[in-house]
């Protein structure tokens, strides 16, 4: 019974992390800002770190099944 929420949370974290990483990569490759009124390097770094963290949390949730 407890594996259902872990699978759901893992998939949500993994999809969010993957989507954020793809979006950040696309913005950086096209030279577009990741966030307005913030340093481009800082915003890309924070967004990439958040994406990797979400992917790691998703992987952790899926290993707890």
The pLDDT tens digits for 9-65 are 999 999 999 999 999 999 999 999 999 999 999 999 999 999 999 999 999 999 988
Q: Decide if pLDDT at 5 tops 70.
A: yes
Closest CA to 24 of 41, 7, 10: 41
pLDDT-derived band at 1 (thresholds 50, 70, 90) equals low
pTM value?
0.88
């Amino acid at each position: 019974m407890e594996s259902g929420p872990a699978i759901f949370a893992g998939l949500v974290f993994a999809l969010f992390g993957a989507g954020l990483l793809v979006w950040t990569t696309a913005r950086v490759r096209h030279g577009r800002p990741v966030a307005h009124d913030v340093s481009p390097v800082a915003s890309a770094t924070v967004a990439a770190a958040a994406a990797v963290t979400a992917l790691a949390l998703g992987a952790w949730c899926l290993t707890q099944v």
